[in-house]
Amino acid sequence: MTASTATSAPSAPAPTWALPALVAGAAAIGCSPIFVRLSELGPTATGFWRLTLALPLYWAWAQVAAKRGNASPALPAGSRRRLLIAGLLFTGDLATWHWSIHFTSVANSTLFANFAPVFVVFGAWALFGEKPRPVFLAGLALTVGGAACLIADSFTIGADHALGDGLALVTAFFFGTYLLAVKDLRHRIDAARLMLWSSMVTALGLLVIALISGESILPTSWHGFAVLLGLAWVSQAAGQGLIAEAMGHLPAGLSSLVILVEPLSAALLGWVVLGEALGPVQALGAGLIMAGILVARRAG
């Protein structure tokens, strides 16, 4: 990605469906912790199936897009290298986040990983000329503060968490730069081919990591396979697909803030499915996230 080849947000107004699609995509990704917790496999092997089982849906989506005339079968010049980079960045995102959970608490990992919007905001300024306005930065502060409130009860600081916390910050960097790569690619190709080809790279990368770490690759029951299928179709195919489609029409900074609906969705699902009740601080966090998104939206 270079500043000379990327542009800022499209000059035409974003379609009315773009922001709801982004919210729906973030909510779908919020289901992933539930699926990962229920999986019979290790975290990296689970991530491998998350991408692999989504590939048939991405392929069908790409075929439909091509038949409708929305995409040429051939990839434009320069897109292959960018797709490789996007796939490797998402590999790094999933791998470092899963490893961070082994060395710190889930709460710490979730909070630090959700610093991704900070990297996106300043990266979008440098690459796409999307200079953040003060009201947008206020929205950023509200959403990050809301994410902190969601996990405040179990957040801890200590030397024994340093490695895991550091890996979670690396996760935020990987995910933030992945979103910037998606934004850049959406100026060049449609979302269907973007997700198809970058997911192939990510699946291969996660398979290599899972094999090196000695994780089992195959689920042991039909229930385990169903969990992996749900993760792939709901969180990956629907969630990441909607995000990639919407990011072709919305500023990168705003998109990264709206994606913070993900921990809110995860918290609500944890309450409904796992009985992890939300207290007043978590409710405050939910309100801050939504308020921050609304404030940032006014800046866009």
Indicate the domain borders of the chain.
18-299
CA dist., res. 168 & res. 151, Å (int): 14
pLDDT computed for residue 157 by the predictor? 61
Residues 6+ apart with CB under 8 A from 174: 89, 90, 92, 93, 96
Residue with tokens 């469906």: 17
pTM reported for the whole predicted model = 0.77
pLDDT computed for residue 8 by the predictor? 37
Tell me whether residue 141 is exposed, middle or buried, using C-beta atoms within 10 angstroms of its C-beta: 0 to 12, 13 to 18, 19 or more: middle
CA dist., res. 7 & res. 197, Å (int): 23
The candidate with the shortest Cα–Cα distance to 227, out of 40, 2, 20, is: 40
pLDDT computed for residue 12 by the predictor? 58
Q: Which residue positions in the chain have pLDDT lower than 50?
A: 1-11
Q: From the CB of residue 113, how many other CB atoms can be counted at a distance below 10 Å?
A: 26
Phi, psi of 203 (to 5 degrees): -60, -45
Cα 81–chain centre separation? 21
Residue with tokens 């404030």: 295
Q: From the CB of residue 131, how many other CB atoms can be counted at a distance below 10 Å?
A: 12
3-class DSSP state of 218: coil
Contact 184, 1 (CB under 8 A): yes
pLDDT computed for residue 195 by the predictor? 94
